[in-house]
Amino acid sequence: MSAPLSRAEIRRVVEAAMAEDAPFGDVTVAALVPADAVAVAHLVAREAGVLAGAEVFEVAMTSVDPTVVVTLHAVDGDTFQPGDRLASVEGPARAVLQAERVALNLVARMSAVATLTARYVAEVAGTGARVVDTRKTTPGLRALERHAVRCGGGHNHRFSLSDAVMAKDNHLALLDDVTSALREAAERLPHTTHIEVEVDRLDQVEPVLASGVVGTIMLDNFSLGDLRTGVEQVAGRATIEASGGITLETIGDVARTGVDVISVGALTHGVPAIDLGLDVDVRLGGSGGAVS
């Protein structure tokens, strides 16, 4: 099971994003927005989706000034419709306006991943197959995007190259005897290290499984017919993962071949941000007059 998204990881991402966006403060608000102006804002959905990143939004909106108050009206994993208010913000206008873009960028990105994941998960309902992500994540945002996948009902693959052995075609091409090489590798590894091997032909399956040390075998870019044959050939000796070119249109058929796991790079790779907006009302402190 993947670890929950930590507050420390959220702060790390938000601090880096704020340093990039306002390295020396926001000169626009400093020049134009009165120091005593107060902002009241609402995070509003412009389209339907699944929320991910509520806590990230809160941390980002309070990162400039901790006196900013964020009230969440939904939690991660909740579905929303156009017009729904997902959060409210109140505090010094300068701080709210400076943090607005970073907060929106992160929650919109994460919610897009969760929304797309939920669509993939719905397509495999009743099959027993898990939908999992890949390492095709935005550099620096992997923990957030992986959390978003879980919010959409999906699961996570290995988090990094350090977490498990995953031998792909480029690795196998260097080996004369795959069976022996896998056995020797297992002897050098801690007993808790999971070993997965990717194959792209049916004739590669048996030499991999003959090693007796492989926990997962990935059938990469297999046709539906070959996936069904592969499931029969493996016969429960390892977890079977299907991968390669999986789409919303094909994932249901892939799941029905009997595979255990389906990895989908599209969950995090190139998904367009969902349309969330921050409706802001700025007023002069104590005057009741609107600034913007």
Residues annotated catalytic, as ranges: 101, 136, 168, 198, 220
**DSSP state string for 194-222:** -EEEEESSGGGHHHHHTTS--SEEEEET-
Nearest to 133 by CA among 246, 5, 267: 267
Q: Where is 29: in which H helix or E strand?
A: helix 27-32
User: What is the rounded CA–CA span in Å between residue 135 and residue 210?
Assistant: 28
- Tell me the pairing of strands 85-92 and 69-72: antiparallel
User: What is the rounded CA–CA span in Å between residue 81 and residue 44?
Assistant: 9
**DSSP state string for 107-160:** HHHHHHHHHHHHHHHHHTTTS-PEEE--S---TT-HHHHHHHHHHTT-B---SS
φ, ψ for residue 9 (rounded to 5)? -65, -40
Residue type, 63: S
φ, ψ for residue 277 (rounded to 5)? -125, 155
- Other Cβ atoms within 10 Å of 43 Cβ, number: 27
Question: What is residue 23's DSSP assignment?
Answer: B
Map tokens 């595979």 to a residue: 259
